[in-house]
A and B are shown apart, each in its own frame.
Chain A
Amino acid sequence: MKRIPSSIPASADLAAAPPVSAASAPGRDAIRSTVLANGMKLIVWPVHNIPNVALYNWVRAGSRNERPGITGLAHFFEHMMFNGTARRRPGDFDKLMEAQGGANNAFTSDDVTVYQDWFPRGALELIFDLEADRIANLAFDPEVIESERSVVYSERRLCVDDNNHGYLAEQVQAAAYVAHPYRFPTIGWPQDIRSWTLHDLQTFFRTYYAPNNQTLVLAGDVAPEEAFALARKYLEPIPRQAAPAAVLAREPPQLAERRVVVRRSAQTPLIQYAYKAPAAADARAPALSLLLSILVDGDASRLYRLLVEDQKLIIDIGGNWHEGFDPALVWLYFTLPEGAEPEAVQPAIDAELARIAARGVSAEELRRAKNLVAVSFWKKLATIDGKAQLLGEYEVFHGDWRRLFDAPAQFERVTAAEVQAVAREVLDVRRRTVGVLLPDPELELEDA
């Protein structure tokens, strides 16, 4: 991320679950989309409640597109895209945008890199100019590259080296895959961050920052035709490139549980489970999202209630599904109190996960999960930022932004039997990687 620390694990929590009666989402009939001659797609949702616009540019490039030796390069680009072009010096992008009232950020996941701008409507043309300029004319100043390497390294120290959750997740992710590039940490392995070459950068940029590999979404105080006209002026002249080579790697079936144990300076031990799960566009997606919600979403969720409230074995709990282009992982993470033995806690977690696979979920649990999903959908739709994000997620990961509005009905239709079926398939101990972080007694002695 350009400014805000990466989520943990590094895979972004994309494609947040939508829900009930979104057919009536106000203003959806005004959404328009077009494809420029160079293959770049634009989607515009005009909303006029505040005089501002949110822009999301989805670039189909993530750590999935890397190889050993250049891990972290997609994320490094996320930083370099703010660092000057043939027309503008490093820093001008931010200075010009701020001087017109705009702010920006970006994030990188295993699958995509997403650039975000939030600005007053008067800055619309400047934003198109700035976005087109960095796609067409990005500069690679060696001094700037070196400086930005240090910034990224500092980000890595913050999110991984000095963060036990991040450190363990990186190890678990690396162990969970043997063939697929999803094993690479999005932030990059330390030695790779130090050693990318200018040639690596130029090749990656030419391949993945082609206009035909990007989707631009705007929501807010803008007319679709106005945005399309500016896109034709600024973005359409950027030449199309050959489509990037498809990622052909397929992870072979996992046959037995894998286990990673790390010892770190810590007071509280950690456990992480990473199960092999389907891709974002899989038909089981709504059932799997609801399963995860039933397990860990809120204080009434299964695992929270059992492990935190009743048995007091765990002090914090979380989970997420990496919804990617390819089959990825469902994560569950647990923070234990000081002095707890992970080996003594794990059987309680496993028993409950086995129970949900064997006996399924109650009607009340399913209702709760569907309602939580419904409210989170409406909360997102209440802002121009949420609208731009959701449209982009559905366009990029589900093939068509219109599917956003079908999702609520799909979630509503999920039955308890389908949730149980997906629990049986996904929560299989043979197909998981377990990470354990133990406080290192030797490190403690050194401290004393």
Chain B
Amino acid sequence: MSTAYALTHPSGGAVQVPAHERVVLPNGITLLVVPSPEVPLISFHAVCRGGPLGDSQPGLASLVAGLLDKGAGARNAFEFVDAVEGAGGSFTTVTGTEALSITGQFLARDQALMLELLSDAITRPRFEIAEFEKLRARRIELIKAAKDSDPAEVIGTYGRAMLFGSHPYGKPAGGSEASLASITHRDVLDYYRAHIGADRLILVFAGDLDIAALKRDVAERFGSWRKAGVSAAPVPEPVRARGRRVLLVDSPDSAQTYFWIGNVGVNKQYPEHAALDLVNTLYGGCFTSMLNTELRIKSGLSYSARAGFTRTAAAGEFAIRSFTDTENTATALDLSLQTLMRLKTEGVTTEMLDSARAYVLGQYPLNFETAADWAAALVELEFYGLGPEYIDEYAAQLRGVTLPVARGVIDHAFPNVEDLVIVLIGDAAKIRRIARRYGELTEMALTQPSFSP
């Protein structure tokens, strides 16, 4: 490029974990406090270890999470949400792969109310039977609605079910229509007693906080809370899929074929995670990635083609996700596999690595702009037992990634083209013969009340 200005060396990325306090309460609760007075907002992030790992039926933990704020302490379900939203606050329960979380944000003036609501939801949920039945029925219908209108979103749940099978990561965290229907109110009460307790809880507060009042309120409201009935079990490492398996989910009027191609990747402790981020940026992370270049930029086959790793306590999935017009199904699948093959055989170049490095470094600070961002980041460090160096030294690690290290990551973390689980959502009558070419074929209907045959 012939321009008059000098291209600067990649800068940015030098993010430092802000000063914060970490205290472990006698009952095992880990408390983290990050002051940040820039705007008059306060955020919390409460995480309880286990989540769906403790499910007797898929979706149980997720129902428990959804019920925590449907009546707690002195408030019924409406009074609770009215207290949250009346103050302009937010209070969201989320079910992850191996945790239940509650996140929220309030105006700083409502700190005492926020603490009261959070502690009531966690330590004094009512679990009223009418609320349980209502939520369970609604969740079942919401899954049907998602299958009607959002194939690109639901495909990941089919993919994980096919890939991980009976391993806990294979169960749909939000449950399926069938599994939710089998859950009883008793199951909810049992789960709460066994899997939610002080020894599993991480509490992070960030923002324009009154710290003395916060510590006092946390001690008062959480200090004498009980532990969970059972201790959190470690997650076994899943086994990588060998050979090829294909699941075809029939959606007879679908205009496109949605596809998910995956295998078991690496876990949160993966030592070369900086190199992994660079290689995946090049393969399927950024707009000009190999995958998006082939499927979108050069061929116009798809609006979007991406790939990525889910890194959890045990190895989560690596997955390629895209979609294309039904008649181009084979072309898009072939291109995706050829691109993976090219990464595995040819690797990446120094120039590519430099570009990805600049990109990841340049975008990194945008993840740590607000107090809520820091609450989320510190929860992640604490949950996975990672030190502040995970963030502080990330930029230096990115700068240190060499071609041989990238090669090692490609060999180790990315799956072989011969070993893949492929899920297609599309018009089976039109793509069945194509699907068969890619491996041993299983079929199910999109309307079937589950995510696996």
C-alpha gap A177/B142 in the complex (Å): 31
- Bound complex: CA A101 to CA B145 (Å): 39
Whether, in the assembled complex, A446 has its beta carbon less than 8 Å from a beta carbon of chain B, the answer is yes
**Contact present for A101 and B10 (CB under 8 Å):** yes
**Given A49-B369, A268-B144, A300-B78, A375 and B361 contact (CB-CB distance below 8 Å):** no
Q: Are B86 and A98 in contact (CB under 8 A)?
A: no
A150→B325 CA distance, assembly (Å): 9
A-binding residues in B (CB < 8 A): 1, 3, 5, 7-12, 38-41, 77-78, 81-82, 84-90, 105-107, 134, 137-138, 141-142, 144-145, 147-152, 250-256, 286-288, 293, 296-304, 323-325, 354-356, 358-359, 361-363, 365-366, 368-372, 445, 447
Interface of B is mostly: mixed
Contact between A375 and B41, CB atoms less than 8 A apart: yes
Residues of B within 8 A of A301 (CB): 85
Interface core residue of A95, A98, A152 (most chain B CB under 10 Å): A98
Q: How far is the CB of B200 from chain A (nearest CB, A)?
A: 26
Residues of B within 8 A of A120 (CB): 11-12, 361-362, 365
Residue of B nearest to A437 (CB): B148
The answer for the CA separation of A88 and B138 in the assembled complex, in Å, is 52
CB contact between B85 and one of A166, A264, A368 (< 8 Å): that residue = A368
| Binary per-residue interface labels of chain A (251-262) against chain B in the complex, 1 for a CB within 8 Å, 0 otherwise | 000000000000
A137 contacts the other chain (CB 8 A) = no
Contact of B253 among A51, A123, A264, A384 (CB under 8 A): A264
Contact flag A315-B151 (CB < 8 Å), given A161-B255, A378-B40: no
Per-position binary interface string of chain A over residues 149-179, scored 1 when its CB falls under 8 Å from any chain B CB and 0 otherwise = 1111111011001111110000000000000
Given A50-B366, A378-B40, does the pair A95, B300 have CB atoms closer than 8 Å?
A: no
Bound form: Cα–Cα A52–B38 in Å? 17
Interface of A is mostly: helix
Of all chain A residues, the one with the shortest Cβ separation from B146 is A268
CA distance A154 to B138 in the complex (A): 31
List of A residues within 8 angstroms of B369 by Cβ: 49-50, 382-384
Residues of B within 8 A of A309 (CB): 77-78, 134
A103 to B7, CA, bound (A): 17
Q: Is there contact, CB below 8 Å, between B256 and A162?
A: yes
Given contacts A52-B12, A268-B148, 10 further A-B contacts (CB under 8 A): A50-B368, A98-B286, A99-B355, A103-B286, A122-B9, A150-B299, A164-B148, A298-B81, A308-B138, A370-B88
In A337-351, which residues have CB < 8 Å from any B CB?
A: 337-338
Task: Judge whether A154 and B301 touch: CB under 8 Å.
Answer: yes
Whether the Cβ atoms of B296 and A98 lie closer than 8 Å is no
User: Is A359 engaged at the interface, CB distance under 8 Å to the other chain?
Assistant: no
Q: Within the complex, what minimum Cβ distance (angstroms) separates A264 from chain B? A: 7
A364 within 8 A of B: yes
Q: Is the CB of B288 within 8 A of A95?
A: yes
Q: Which residues of B contact A162 (CB under 8 A)?
A: 149, 151, 254-256
Q: Are A267 and B447 in touch, CB under 8 angstroms? A: yes
A164–B369 CA distance with the chains assembled, in angstroms: 36
The contact size tier of chain A is 35 or more
Contact A379 B85 (CB under 8 A): no
B11, A51: Cβ atoms under 8 Å? yes
B43 to chain A, nearest CB (A): 10
Q: Counting chain A CB atoms within 10 Å of each CB, which of B89, B150, B252, B362 scores highest?
A: B362
Q: Could you tell me which residues of chain A, from 90 to 129, have a CB within 8 Å of some CB in chain B? A: 90-91, 94-96, 98-104, 118-123, 125-126, 129
- Contacting pair B12 A94 (CB below 8 A): no
- The yes or no answer to A3 lying at the interface (CB within 8 A) is yes
Of A98, A149, A337, A367, the contact of B359 (CB 8 Å cutoff): A98
- Chain A hits for B149, CB < 8 A: 162-166
| Docked-complex contact B81 and A300, CB < 8 angstroms | yes
Does A29 belong to the interface (CB within 8 Å)?
Answer: no
B366, A118: Cβ atoms under 8 Å?
A: yes
A3 touches B304 (CB 8 A): yes
By the criterion CB–CB under 8 Å, are B293 and A443 in contact? no
Pair B365/A52 contact, Cβ less than 8 Å: yes
Contact with B88, one of A94, A371, A447 (Cβ below 8 angstroms): A371
| From B9, B81, B105, contact of A379 by CB (8 A) | B105
Chain A: minimal CB distance from B305 (Å): 10
A146–B445 CA distance with the chains assembled, in angstroms: 35
Rounded to whole angstroms, the CA-CA distance of A446 and B250 in the bound complex is: 12
The complex places the Cα of A308 from the Cα of B3 at a distance, in Å, of 59
| Cβ B256 vs Cβ A312 within 8 A | no
Cβ–Cβ < 8 Å partners of B355 in chain A: 95, 98-99
CB pair A382–B370 under 8 Å, yes or no, is yes
Is the Cβ of A337 less than 8 Å from the Cβ of B141?
A: yes
B7→A126 contact, CB < 8 A: yes
CB-contact partner of A371 in B105, B107, B303, B371, under 8 A = B107
* A443 surroundings in chain B (CB, below 8 A): 252-253
The answer on a CB contact under 8 Å between A375 and B81 is no
A267→B41 contact, CB < 8 A: no
Is there contact, CB below 8 Å, between B85 and A372?
yes
* Most B CB within 10 A of own CB, among A100, A162, A316: A162
The residue of chain B having its C-beta at the shortest distance from the C-beta of A26 within the complex is B38
Shortest CB distance A65–B (Å): 23
Chain A nearest CB: distance from B84 CB in Å? 8
A147 proximal to B (CB < 8 A): yes
Subset of 10 A-B contacts with CB under 8 Å: A3-B287, A95-B288, A118-B363, A158-B323, A163-B150, A266-B148, A375-B107, A378-B107, A382-B371, A385-B366
Residues of A within 8 A of B366 (CB): 50, 52, 118, 385
- Decide if B288 touches A94 in the complex (CB within 8 Å): yes
Report whether A94 and B11 are in contact in the complex, using a CB–CB cutoff of 8 Å: no
A447 & B252 in contact (Cβ 8 Å cutoff): yes
